[in-house]
Amino acid sequence: MTDYLKGLNEAQYEAVTTLQGPLMVLAGAGSGKTRVLTMRIAHLITNLVDPFHILALTFTNKAAKEMKERIAKVVGESEARSLWMGTFHSVFARILRSEAHYLGFPSNFTIYDSQDSLNVIKKVIKELNIDSDLYKPKKVQARISSYKNNLITVKAYFNNPELIEADERTNMKHIGLIYQKYVEACYKNGAMDFDDLLLKTNELLTRFPEVLAKYQDRFRYILVDEYQDTNHSQYLIVKALASKFENICVVGDDAQSIYSFRGANIYNILNFKKDYPDAKTVSLEQNYRSTQNIVNAANVVISKNVQQFKKNVFSDNEEGEKIKVYRALSDADEANFVAGNIWELHHSQQRKFSDFSILYRTNSQTRAFEDALRKKNIPYRVYGGLSFYQRKEVKDLIGYLRLLVNENDSEALFRVINYPARGIGETTQNKLIVFADSQNISVSQVLDNLGFYAPQLGLNNGVLTKLSDFWSMIKAFQVLLKTENVYNIAMEVAKRSGLIKFLKDDQTPEGISRVENVQELLNSMQGFIEEQQQLEDGNPSLSNFLENIALSADTQKDKEDDGTDKVSLMTIHLSKGLEFPIVHLVGLEENLFPSFMSSSTREELEEERRLFYVALTRAEKQVYFTYAVSRFQWGKITDAEPSRFLSEVDTQFIEFINPAIESRFVNHSGLKSNIFDDAPSEPRFFKKQDPKKKLSRAENPEPQSLPKNLKPISTAKIINPSGQSSEDIEVGDKVRHDRFGIGEVTFLDGTDPKNIKAKVVFQHEGEKNLILKFAKLTKI
DNA sequence: AACTCCGTAGTTTTT
DNA sequence: CTACGGAGTT
């Protein structure tokens, strides 16, 4: 029965079998952390701890799911089921639902994702007549988020002169007001954002001792994975819950803390001993994953950080090959090299495609690699990126569903009230909002009693009918909630709301793909129903479905996770906890990695360095570093210099690959390919600007349009942008457009000289419909 | 009210 | 390059 204890090393064994009291496990990369966590839970259960009393908090849903499966293999399906394991957000969302009444929230509260919350913030800023150029919504959102993560409520904010002063000093004196209005709006909408799920849990546990007691008693054994990435809010929750039994085990690696941008506080792990003076510490230092060369290279880099525990991570594996560095001429060259390399190793070493990963700093780097892999017919899968559930058409349908579950969610209401268009425009919507505010009721209450309020709304009968039709439709959908399953409800909504028909009317490729996405969403509901049926505590309700998608970032997983052999592409952040035989770490350039947003302070830079460490330690056998000397970025080609991290990896671990000769011809920049001519230490300002690099990326760059002030006015008449064109453009004319380049006019429409529309087929851009008055076409 | 085009600003990582 | 908001048209 205790077979699972065999094969553990001494430190692992201690971590698994120390069941009582506080325990900190410092788990170096690849040291078998997941295994220890899994075995520890299994060991608890075999030692007759009721799984009901165990809470395991992970950082991602994926980690939770994986671990649960592994535990089930050891202790059996039925024992594993009643275990509570999940992310902080999902576990506490569930608790908040059952205790919502304490906080004055409905139990069916909506969970706002970042986009939703940003929308609300934008509206608040607009409503307050605050200049959104000075108060960038994203910035405001980040600041509010950091307040919430540090438990600074609106009230606490206004009671703290220091905070107010600090905001005044940075010319953001209205932040407090926006924060207040934002919180009010969420409350009215019956909605919580991600940070609220933690903040409100704290509120619940501090304000209501009986609730705290209840959960303390339930969660007698608490395990927290990735403890180095917990924020203050999460830290306090754990501390409160564990304070009765103090059977708390935290697992983490300070060298892998990479989420401080989201409030993660590395001091939570650094100070664990202060919180629990009796705590036992176990260090897992043997890396079983990677070759010695990789582990040693990673150690050298991370040792540059000031802030860290001393650790001695080592590997007994083979020494392994050196890290290979490829210097690319452009981002396309880089991608081609990587794809070519994968192809080559796939054949020469019979590597599976799934042995490879491509890791990058930013999601926008994916495209080049997708192109290159597709060209070579290499199967791949992109993880992360824009979530399936964030696509507009998907969010629209979800908007309806949200509204059914929580009709106070005005975000959802106004998203769908006129989509597809049903004649309820902005003016009408504004009247509804203003009126509801003046009466201090919600818009849904106005719509519930439309007849009663109609005289005061100042809307004509036509609009009133449309409103009442819309609302009856919603009410009819709500009736379905009682009898139908998620799939049937959504299907009915998609049909009866006119959404499907509206999307199907668009026969462009994009339109067709939108229909497919909606179909995909419906399919995922079928999957959800089946999945929930298999769970002991399954809950196939619509509101549970919505919660699941709000809290899960893993995209279209069900569809694509078909076990086929694919190369993995993802950001380094997403790769944490994973491993691959061969890793390509790409885009190793200053201002990209480390990101230009994070190069200003030592702390930021150290986090980037930890990120680099994480990337490097994903690899088992072989690592390739690549960087490009020029990169197509923001529509322009920009110069880049190698990342400082490259020079931090001691040269003894590295081997440079000469760029393939033909890549010099592929690239038009004509740069020399000596790897030493841009040593990392070379200051930026010594770089010479190569004028040729300003060329467009197109393979056949169209003739460079002349600077505006040099247009040859003798041969072509410029249409005056403000209207009166005195020279006629005719069908068949060749024209030049500032943005679209050169094209031919194929069709003209309209008699009013101020309002002539032209169809123009451009060489590169295809057919466009333009209004002459605005298009600034030049006849050539 | 709905649609279209233009211009500009913003570009990190994710529950 | 893209996403969004504004401004103008139909």
* A574: CB within 7 A of chain B nucleic strand: yes
Within 7 Å of a protein beta carbon, the nucleotides of strand B are 1-7, 10-15
The C-alpha atoms of residue A140 and residue A138 are separated, in whole angstroms, by 5
Q: Quick: pLDDT tens for A387-402.
A: 788 888 888 999 999 9
Which residue, among A283, A110, A252, has the nearest Cα to A192 in the 3D structure?
A: A110
Question: CA of A728 vs C1' of C3, distance in Å?
Answer: 35
Tell me whether strands A734-737 and A741-749 are parallel, antiparallel or unpaired. antiparallel
DSSP SS3 for A433:
helix
The answer for A741, left when phi > 0, alpha when psi is -120 to 50, beta otherwise, is left
Residues 269-328/A with CB within 7 Å of nucleic chain B are none
Position A308 scores a pLDDT of: 75
Position A676 scores a pLDDT of: 33
The C-alpha atoms of residue A353 and residue A376 are separated, in whole angstroms, by 13
Residues 349-368/A with CB within 7 Å of nucleic chain B are 361-364
* A134: CB within 7 A of chain B nucleic strand: no
Position A79 scores a pLDDT of: 80
Q: Quick: pLDDT tens for A562-583.
A: 678 999 999 999 898 889 999 9
Tell me the DSSP string of A105-156: --TTPEEE-HHHHHHHHHHHHHHTT--TTTS-HHHHHHHHHHHHHTT--HHH
CATH class of A314-385+560-656: alpha beta
From the number of C-beta atoms within 10 Å of its C-beta (0-12, 13-18, 19+), residue A153 rates as middle
Position A537 scores a pLDDT of: 75
Question: CA of A416 vs C1' of B11, distance in Å?
Answer: 29
Question: CA of A584 vs C1' of B12, distance in Å?
Answer: 19
Q: Which of A34, A308, A390, A633 is catalytic?
A: A34
* A758: CB within 7 A of chain B nucleic strand: no
Point out the nucleotide closest to A750 (alpha carbon to C1′): C10
H or E segment to which residue A301 belongs? helix A292-302
Question: CA of A137 vs C1' of B13, distance in Å?
Answer: 19
Point out the nucleotide closest to A739 (alpha carbon to C1′): B6
Name the CATH topology of A110-189.
Answer: Arc Repressor Mutant, subunit A (1.10.10)
User: Is A56 annotated for ligand binding?
Assistant: no
Q: Does the fold of domain A314-385+560-656 match that of domain A110-189?
A: no
Both tokens of A589, joined, read 């350039």
Q: Which residues of chain A have pLDDT under 70?
A: 1-2, 553-562, 658-733, 735-780
User: Is A28 annotated for ligand binding?
Assistant: yes
User: Does residue A545 contact residue A524 with C-beta atoms inside 8 Å?
Assistant: no
Which residue, among A5, A221, A215, A194, has the nearest Cα to A117 in the 3D structure?
A: A194
Based on the residue annotation, tell me whether A33 is a catalytic residue of this protein.
yes
User: Is A27 annotated for ligand binding?
Assistant: yes
| Residue ranges of domains in chain A | 10-102+199-284, 110-189, 314-385+560-656, 404-528, 733-779
Based on the residue annotation, tell me whether A644 is a catalytic residue of this protein.
no
User: Is A601 annotated for ligand binding?
Assistant: no
Based on the residue annotation, tell me whether A650 is a catalytic residue of this protein.
no
Q: CB A94: neighbour CB atoms within 10 A?
A: 18
DSSP SS3 for A764:
coil
Both tokens of A540, joined, read 């196939």
Please report the sign of the dihedral spanned by the C-alpha atoms of residue A515, residue A517, residue A522, residue A526. positive
Position A772 scores a pLDDT of: 54
Q: Which of A12, A33, A311, A571 is catalytic?
A: A33
CATH class of A10-102+199-284: alpha beta
Q: Which of A60, A216, A256, A778 is catalytic?
A: A256
Instruction: Please give the protein residue whose CA is closest to the C1' of the nucleotide B1.
Output: A425
User: Is A34 annotated for ligand binding?
Assistant: yes
Q: CB A398: neighbour CB atoms within 10 A?
A: 23
Both tokens of A363, joined, read 């999601």
Q: Which of A193, A226, A333, A590 is catalytic?
A: A226
Position A736 scores a pLDDT of: 61
Based on the residue annotation, tell me whether A618 is a catalytic residue of this protein.
yes
Question: CA of A765 vs C1' of C8, distance in Å?
Answer: 24
Position A747 scores a pLDDT of: 60
Tell me the DSSP string of A349-406: S---GGGEEEEESSGGGHHHHHHHHHHTT--EEE-SSS-GGGSHHHHHHHHHHHHHH-
The C-alpha atoms of residue A264 and residue A149 are separated, in whole angstroms, by 9
* A597: CB within 7 A of chain B nucleic strand: yes
Point out the nucleotide closest to A231 (alpha carbon to C1′): B15
State which protein residues have CB closer than 7 Å to strand C: A 122, 634-635, 750, 754-755, 757, 771, 773
> Which CATH superfamily includes the segment(s) A404-528?
PCRA; domain 4 (1.10.486.10)
The C-alpha atoms of residue A58 and residue A75 are separated, in whole angstroms, by 20
* A548: CB within 7 A of chain B nucleic strand: no
Omega of the bond leading into A420 within 30 degrees of 0 (cis): yes
Within 7 Å of a protein beta carbon, the nucleotides of strand C are 1-2, 5, 9-10
* A420: CB within 7 A of chain B nucleic strand: no
The C-alpha atoms of residue A466 and residue A422 are separated, in whole angstroms, by 7
Which strands make up the sheet holding A323-328, listed edge to edge? Answer: A380-382, A567-571, A356-360, A580-585, A619-628, A323-328, A654-657
Where helices occur in A552-595 by DSSP H, the ranges are: 557-560, 572-575
Based on the residue annotation, tell me whether A507 is a catalytic residue of this protein.
no
The C-alpha atoms of residue A553 and residue A531 are separated, in whole angstroms, by 18
* A599: CB within 7 A of chain B nucleic strand: no
Question: CA of A638 vs C1' of B9, distance in Å?
Answer: 19
Question: CA of A706 vs C1' of B15, distance in Å?
Answer: 49
Based on the residue annotation, tell me whether A207 is a catalytic residue of this protein.
no
Point out the nucleotide closest to A551 (alpha carbon to C1′): B15
* A183: CB within 7 A of chain B nucleic strand: no
Q: What does pTM read for this prediction?
A: 0.81
User: Does residue A345 contact residue A354 with C-beta atoms inside 8 Å?
Assistant: no
DSSP SS3 for A582:
strand
Where helices occur in A137-231 by DSSP H, the ranges are: 137-149, 154-158, 161-169, 175-189, 194-207, 209-218
Helix, strand, coil % in chain A, rounded to nearest 5: 50, 15, 35
Which residue, among A103, A57, A378, A335, has the nearest Cα to A223 in the 3D structure?
A: A57
Instruction: Please give the protein residue whose CA is closest to the C1' of the nucleotide C2.
Output: A634
Position A3 scores a pLDDT of: 76
Q: Which residues contact A244 (CB under 8 A, 6 or more apart)?
A: A216, A217
Which residue, among A734, A383, A313, has the nearest Cα to A567 in the 3D structure?
A: A383
The C-alpha atoms of residue A529 and residue A42 are separated, in whole angstroms, by 29
How far from the centroid of its chain's Cα atoms is residue A688's Cα?
37
Q: Which of A99, A225, A396, A606 is catalytic?
A: A225
